[in-house]
Structure 1
């Protein structure tokens, strides 16, 4: 199915007109995707991420996570501005579409108040991540491609799920306060934009040795990000705060079967697929709050429904 979408890069309009890419295993985007799968799975299955996806995210911990992101994106975008005209990085320069520092500043102002800058600090696990970004920006700016790909494409994808979970679990305003980070105002079609970004990556003139270095750097970025997750998980053990268990199960609990994903099941159910409608219903019924409500209703009508349940 074709879908026409225009996105801008430095004032230029670029039209993408196909949902299907002709991909080659040697394309940079494919090299990074395949070569970081294990690292991606580790991050996705970390206790912090799994708890987050289940809605078990504490407000104070969410604030600390937002703070960590602020320092990481500030570093990335500071270095990107220095190399925006670099032959390798220039095709991936999309400040109005991707840059997150300003959005994160708004979120921190919402959580901490106008003097938020005086209340935050770079954590012990975040600092090495920030230092590494500045190091590659100074010594080998081509490697910024790996950091940009890891962060922006990941947050543009999975971040949309996290946004919905956080909004419900933390009872954040429906108008988006505290969640500006997840709102890419300059991107109206995320799928088309990711396709464009991927094609730009694949057109970069990088040799096999550079691709290998970029893959190593992307895996390092995942590792540094996982270190931040681990730190947040440890900090969270000492934070007492009531949270709702309203989120879906992490993909890691699905054994690689996407049909068990509640979002995928919901999508298929809406499309009229009865199998996935059942899967979606099962997913909903697994939620503790739903189970309590259902148990109460069943008890109230047990006599009338006995013939049906036998």
Structure 2
């Protein structure tokens, strides 16, 4: 029996998705207005988010909700480490630090890990489905704007273990409908997915102010 979680998440986060697309930083990125240092900072903050998210998901892979949606082929931490190595070299961990908004996001991941682990699914859905859907487009934009060679510096957008992305997304959405939850929990997961969108948006807004400064210096 389906819990309809896939359609609940899709329809329940539609407005948050539109709001995220309309933030200046994302508009600039989509239009090819990409500052190298700002893009690197964007990836480095995603590294912190994914490192923590994937750590707690891995620890909770036997949780009845998480186990159904445990897809390690989605993991982004190693790809982001490749990107950091490309931009900064072997000492890359010494050159990056999380923004305030990123620290807030990580704090929320810790909070739900301590109190209501099923809600981790809301964050996994928001991040991974967004990245696998828009990743190739954003990768091409970054490659062109920053004159990058091949996939160097944009490994984050490569889902090497998922050759057929549409087929995988279909499988992911089918799995969502088999998660063993009641209506109250499904509604809570949708609410948390929206929260994940807005926590991500706070990171992007903080980056936007950095981008504005960078573009101002370039004029």
Normalising to structure 1: TM-score of the pair? 0.68
Q: Which runs of 4+ in 1 moved over 2 A?
A: 240-243
Structure 1 CA distance for aligned equivalents of residues 116 and 209 of structure 2:
33
Q: Deviations over 1:68-109 (max 9, x none)?
A: 1000101110100111011111121111x1000011011011
User: Which residue of 2 is the match for residue 181 of structure 1?
Assistant: 156
The offset of 1:32, in angstroms, is: 0.9
**In the aligned structure 2, how far is the partner of 1:46 from the partner of 1:29?**
25
> 1: CA distance between counterparts of 2:139 and 2:106?
24
The match for 1:229 among 184, 204, 207 is: 204
**Deviation string, structure 1 residues 228-264 (Cα, Å, up to 9, x no partner):** 1110110112114769xxxxxxxxxxxxxxxxxxxxx
Higher RCO, 1 or 2 (CA under 8 Å, sep at least 6)?
2
3-state SS of paired residue (1:205):
coil
- Which is greater in Rg? 1
Q: Which of the residues 155, 163, 167 maps onto 2:131? A: 155
Residues 242 and 173 of structure 1, relative CA distance in 2, 3 Å threshold = farther
CA displacement at 1:125 relative to structure 2: 1.1
Q: What CA distance in whole angstroms lies between the structure 2 residues aligned with 1:78 and 1:27?
A: 28
Could you tell me which of 44, 58, 77 is aligned with 1:81? Answer: 58
Shift of 1:37: 0.8
What residue is the counterpart of 2:176 in the other structure?
Answer: 201
Task: Say whether 1:42 aligns with 2:9.
Answer: no
Q: Secondary structure at the match of 1:225?
A: helix
Deviation at 1:205, TM superposition (A): 1.2
1:134, 1:197 → 2: CA distance? 24
Q: How does 1:257-272 map to 2 (within 5 A)?
A: none
The structure whose residues are more often helix, as a share, is: 2
Please report the RMSD computed on the Cα atoms of aligned residues, expressed in angstroms.
1.4
Q: Is the 8 A contact 1:28 1:202 kept in 2?
A: yes
Unpaired runs of at least 5, structure 2: none
Task: Provide Cα deviations, 1:101-135, integer angstroms capped at 9, x if missing partner.
Answer: 01101101111111010111111111111111121
The alignment of Structure 1 onto Structure 2 pairs a total of residues equal to 217
Q: 1:58, 1:242 within 8 Å by CA — same for their partners in 2?
A: no
1:32 is the counterpart of 2:9: yes
What 5-or-longer segments of structure 1 have no aligned partner? 1-23, 244-310
Aligned to 2:30: 53
